[in-house]
Each structure stands twice: as structure tokens, then as C-alpha cells.
């Protein structure tokens, strides 16, 4: 293993992680909800009465994030995301992520952040599994193919 | 009050993703490339988030209502089953192919990235595929979807 010191951003990533944790903390303490994006979005597909509003308010907040972040952040944080995958790969990956997160009942936020924070063995298994699969796929794509 | 809190939490979460580097697929893939030139940044994202989250959930578990007075919707499922593992394998594979998980994909869509928009459309299609499969294949079984 070789550490990529050039791209390592310890402070921004730790700071961003603390903000993500704060968001998850406020959500459970104030709203009584688990902050899991795949669940919040997936619950809108077959919506139940009275279970829609909170999802929409949350997503509207997320929609405002890029604009507010651009006001607050220094210029070197505003680089556009680097998306190397072509459109065919993007579609395949999106299908897998949508199907997999709903089948496994959670993603990086619901299982990874909230589940590990509440010491759920189920979320630990899910997180180790999806991270393991991610490591494996990147290994195959970058080092075997 | 609930609505304001939901909106602010969504805003904070989106900004956390942007600040942390999670919303940059190349950075995510740099983290997942354990056997290449490895960028450990995202381990700090998870560490920071769990550090704060741990105290919040420890407190939440002791309560019966939220601080705004509503119900606490904490997950009840605790079985580690095939659905959990297979679903997480599929998700991890998709995450490793493009470098997007659901939150960052949504934030990048809201930032106006065309590829993120295509990803989100495909992701929602995958979610609909799940709903159909769940309804027509797994139907007799009790539904345990929603919370992690």
C-alpha cells in the first residue's frame, strides 16, 4: 500500500465528517429520524400519506447546499467533481446503487454513519460488505483489467 | 419547527458532503483504491461523522421522543440476512464503478452536474426495480424496508 499524500485532505475531510455527524445527530435528536439518503429517497417512490413532507423538506435543504457552500467556502474548495466514468458505466453503477441500497436497506449514510454510530451489528456487516465490494471492484478495474 | 429542522439538516448534510470530498468521485475512488496509490481521507470523514453520531445516538436511545416532541423512529430490524449482504454487495460494486453513493450523487445533481443527473435517474430506476421485485417476488414475506 502506498499512501497518496498529494491528494490527502485530512482537515477538510475530518471537518466535513464532523458536519455530517452533526447533521445525523440533529436529525435523530430533533426529528427522531435516521439520516439515510437511500431510505429518504426510496420512501418517496411508493409514498405513504403523512410520510412525505419530512423527506421533501430534507431534500430541499440538500438542494440548497451547493449554493450556500459556494458562498461560504474558500475558492479552492469549489472545484467541480471529477467524474471519470463514461455514461454507460454511470448508468450501470446507478442501477446497482439504487437496487443494492434498497435491497440492503441502507447506504453510506444510513448504515455507515448512523448505523455504526448506534453500534448496530447489522449496519457493521452492511458497511464492511459494501466497502469490501468497493475495494474489490476498484482493484479489478484498476489493477487487473 | 420540524420543517425548519429538516431543511437545515439537509443543508448541513449537503455541505458536509461537499467539504469532506465525498462528492468528488475521483477522491472516493482514490480511497477505494487500497492497492494502488491510496488516499485515506474518507476514513477521516467516517471517523469524524461517527464520533459526533455516537454521542447523539447514545442519547437518543435513552429517550422515547425527540427533543421537538415527535416520535423517535429508530430501526428495529436486527437480523443479518441474505438481503442485507447481497444488497450491500451490489451497492458496493456500483459505488466502486463510478465513485458515487446516493448522497453525493444527489448533491452533485443539485449542483448541476449532468453525469450526476444521469446517475440519479439510473439509481431511482434501480430503486423502482427493487420495489417491483419486492412486490412481485418477495411479497408473502413481511416488508422490512425503510430503515437501515
Residue-wise pLDDT for B35-67, tens only, equals 999 999 999 999 999 999 999 999 999 999 999
Closest-approach residue (CA) in chain A for B119: A94
Interface confidence (ipTM) of the complex:
0.96
**Each residue's pLDDT tens digit, A23-53:** 999 999 999 999 999 999 999 998 888 899 9
Yes or no: say if A124 and A112 are a contact pair by the CB < 8 Å rule.
no
Contact (CB<8Å) B92/A137 = yes
Residue (of B119, B116, B120) closest to A82 by Cα position: B116
Report helix, strand or coil for A3.
strand
CA angle A45, B106, A9 (to 5 degrees): 145
State which H helix or E strand residue A56 sits in: helix A53-72
**Each residue's pLDDT tens digit, B59-88:** 999 999 999 999 999 999 889 999 999 999
Task: Check if B24 contacts A (Cβ < 8 Å).
Answer: yes
* % pLDDT > 70, chain A: 100
Closest CB to B8 among A4, A59, A61: A61
Interface of B with A in 50-69 (CB under 8 A): 50-61, 65-68
d(CA A86, CA B146) in angstroms, rounded, equals 31
Yes or no: say if B110 and A65 are a contact pair by the CB < 8 Å rule.
yes
Q: Predicted confidence band at B92 (pLDDT cuts at 50, 70, 90)? A: very high
User: pTM above the 0.90 mark?
Assistant: yes
**Average confidence score pLDDT of chain B:** 93
Q: Give how far the C-alpha of residue A108 lies from the chain's centroid of Cα atoms, to the nearest Å.
A: 5
Asked whether residue B142 carries a pLDDT value surpassing 60, the answer given is: no
CA angle A60, A83, B12 (to 5 degrees): 30
**Each residue's pLDDT tens digit, A1-29:** 899 999 999 999 999 999 999 999 999 99
**Residue from A74, A82, A89, A104 to probe the interface with B (highest B Cβ count within 10 Å):** A104
Residue range B112-116: mean pLDDT, rounded: 96
Output the CA torsion sign for A127, B103, A21, A25: negative
Residue range B83-94: mean pLDDT, rounded: 98
For residue A134 the three cell numbers come to 468497493
Alpha helices in chain B (DSSP H): 2-20, 25-32, 41-61, 82-98, 102-110, 114-136
Closest CB to A16 among B22, B51, B145: B22
Residue range B121-144: mean pLDDT, rounded: 82
pLDDT at A50 (0 to 100): 87
Task: Check if B132 contacts A (Cβ < 8 Å).
Answer: no
Yes or no: say if A43 and B69 are a contact pair by the CB < 8 Å rule.
no
Work out the minimum CA distance from B77 to partner chain A, whole angstroms.
8
Query: What does residue A54 show for φ and ψ, rounded to 5 degrees?
Result: -65, -35
d(CA B101, CA B109) in angstroms, rounded, equals 12
Amino acid at each position: 500500500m502506498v499512501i497518496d499524500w498529494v491528494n490527502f485532505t485530512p482537515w477538510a475531510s475530518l471537518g466535513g465528517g464532523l458536519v455530517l455527524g452533526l447533521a445525523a445527530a440533529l436529525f435523530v435528536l430533533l426529528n427522531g429520524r435516521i439520516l439515510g439518503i437511500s431510505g429518504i429517497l426510496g420512501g418517496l417512490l411508493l409514498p405513504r400519506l403523512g410520510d412525505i413532507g419530512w423527506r421533501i423538506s430534507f431534500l430541499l435543504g440538500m438542494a440548497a447546499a451547493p449554493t450556500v457552500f459556494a458562498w461560504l467556502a474558500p475558492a479552492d474548495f469549489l472545484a467541480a467533481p471529477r467524474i471519470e466514468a463514461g455514461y454507460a458505466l454511470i448508468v450501470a453503477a446507478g442501477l446497482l446503487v439504487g437496487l443494492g441500497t434498497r435491497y440492503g436497506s441502507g447506504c453510506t449514510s444510513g448504515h455507515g454513519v448512523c448505523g455504526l454510530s448506534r453500534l448496530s451489528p447489522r449496519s457493521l456487516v452492511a458497511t464492511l460488505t459494501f466497502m469490501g465490494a468497493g475495494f474489490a471492484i476498484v482493484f479489478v478495474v484498476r489493477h487487473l483489467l | 419547527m420540524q420543517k425548519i429542522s429538516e431543511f437545515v439538516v439537509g443543508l448541513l448534510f449537503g455541505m458536509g458532503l461537499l467539504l469532506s470530498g465525498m462528492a468528488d468521485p475521483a477522491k472516493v475512488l482514490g480511497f477505494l483504491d487500497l492497492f494502488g496509490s491510496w488516499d485515506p481521507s474518507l476514513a477521516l470523514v467516517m471517523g469524524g461523522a461517527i464520533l459526533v453520531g455516537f454521542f447523539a445516538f447514545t442519547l437518543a436511545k435513552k429517550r422515547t421522543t425527540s427533543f421537538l416532541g415527535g416520535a423517535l423512529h429508530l430501526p428495529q430490524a436486527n437480523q443479518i440476512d441474505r438481503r442485507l449482504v447481497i444488497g450491500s454487495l451490489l451497492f458496493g460494486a456500483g459505488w466502486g464503478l463510478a465513485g458515487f453513493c446516493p448522497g453525493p450523487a444527489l448533491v452533485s445533481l443539485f449542483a448541476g452536474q449532468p453525469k450526476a443527473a444521469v446517475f440519479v435517474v439510473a439509481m431511482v430506476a434501480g430503486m423502482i426495480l427493487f420495489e417491483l421485485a419486492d412486490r412481485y417476488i418477495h411479497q408473502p414475506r413481511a416488508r422490512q424496508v425503510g430503515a437501515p
